[in-house]
Amino acid sequence: MRISIVTGPWLPVPPLQGGAVPRLWQGLAEQFAAKGHEVTILCRSYPGQPQQETINGVMYVRYGGFPQSRSIALDLLKDLVYALAMVPVLPRADILVINDFWLPIFAGALRPDAGRIVLNAARFPKGQYYLYAGVALFAAVSRAIQEAISNQYPAATPRIRVIPNPIDTRVFCPPISPRPVREDKTILYVGRVHPEKGIHLLLDAFAILSDHLPHVKLRIIGPVKESQGGGGEDYFRSLQAKAKGLNVEFLPPIFEPIKLADAYRIADLFCYPSLAEKGESFGVAPLEAMATGLVPVVSDLACFRDFIAEDKTGYFFNHRSSDAAKNLSAVLASAIFSWEKTCKMGAKAANYSKSFSYNRIADLYLNEFQGLKTAKIKL
């Protein structure tokens, strides 16, 4: 089977600095190639990367692209230019996977020979899905995204499949020796240091927790710069003010997966207090944490319930309450005071996360691709 994958205009593939989306598609593409398929990734050009190269059986074609801005309107315009430039260079294929706003429209109308279109739906729809009548399959990363697409564009419902994001379970795995039982436990957050991620709420909760558990530490790892998706220096200074006098450590983002996995493995508990009701589509960081044996404490967003089971592989707290910080603090305290239970949950979480390997998620995609290819032949 010939498979083409087009990523958006913002990030290079393979990623030069982090980048969950390009890393995800690189991993899946390599699995497709290893299973005998002809795979091409089309992505933005970037200084230092050749226009074409083959890595682990995957052909990379780099063309155009732009840096992302803070203006949605400007980024949509840039994306439009990128999509129009990408249409003529699309290779003939059986399947065309797209992670882009405009390209599904133009590819379907202008390049039917580029393959049946599969749209990777990794963000909440903004009312644009009626434009995607030519898409053969919508691969929603969570049931929350599936429901949102169905509500906004009911005609798409029969074409939606839930296919979660994968993680590299070869890298994200538990430590060789069990985590030691210690009084000075570390609570870890990994992700963008942005208001929608609820870092300020986490610090408020940690201040309450510290009154009862003064030896516990909070470690926050992630980008602050707006250019990297952070909330900027003003927000960071407000967080530093909240953290004053508390056992809190802020660390820069870790882009290398192996080093990031090590950061998970030396922590004791994971917290991801996202407040992004319409921005959180899956939550890769909590799943990576689970894969290393960390129990996640997360906000009550629907997407997390696709892979976290309450009191079995993780804990939820009510982030919508007026006492959200107090609720979060209570859940963190309960997880620590019930440490034997939490450790057993961590083992279950690590075992369950194996089902999100690149190999298994690649098979889910390939099963759908084969169905689309067969249906096309029958037509």
Quick: pLDDT tens for 188-240.
999 999 999 999 999 999 999 999 999 999 999 999 998 788 999 999 999 99
What does the domain layout of the chain look like in residue ranges?
2-166+357-378, 186-355
The hierarchical CATH code for the domain 186-355 is: 3.40.50.2000
Mean pLDDT, residues 151-167: 96
Say whether pLDDT at 372 is over 90: yes
**Beta-carbon-side half-sphere exposure of residue 62 (alpha carbons within 13 Å):** 20
Q: Which of 212, 211, 214, 185 lies closest to 297 in space, CA to CA?
A: 185
Task: Report the pLDDT value the prediction gives residue 71, as an integer from 0 to 100.
Answer: 85
Tokens of 329: 């603090």
Whether pTM exceeds 0.85 = yes
CATH number listed for the domain at residues 2-166+357-378: 3.40.50.2000
Q: Cβ atoms within 10 A of the Cβ of 325, count? A: 23
Average pLDDT (106-125) is 94
Asked if the model's pLDDT at residue 308 lies above 70, the reply is: yes
Nearby residues of 199 by Cβ (< 8 Å), 6 or more positions away: 189, 193, 220, 231, 239, 273
Contact in structure between 46 and 63 (CB atoms under 8 Å): no
User: Mean pLDDT, to the nearest integer, of 292-321?
Assistant: 96
Q: Which of 194, 204, 191 is nearest to 330 (CA)?
A: 204
Side chain identity, residue 6:
V
pLDDT of residue 376: 63
From 262, 186, 276, select the one nearest 229 (Cα to Cα). Answer: 276
For the stretch 263-289, pLDDT in tens is 999 999 999 999 998 878 888 999 999
- Would you state the pLDDT for residue 377? 52
pLDDT score of 19 more than 90:
no
The secondary structure of residue 7, as a DSSP letter, is -
Per-residue pLDDT at 370 exceeds 60:
yes
Separation CA 152–CA 135 (nearest Å): 15
Q: Where on the phi/psi map is residue 56: left (φ > 0), alpha (ψ -120 to 50), or beta?
A: left
pLDDT of residue 378: 44
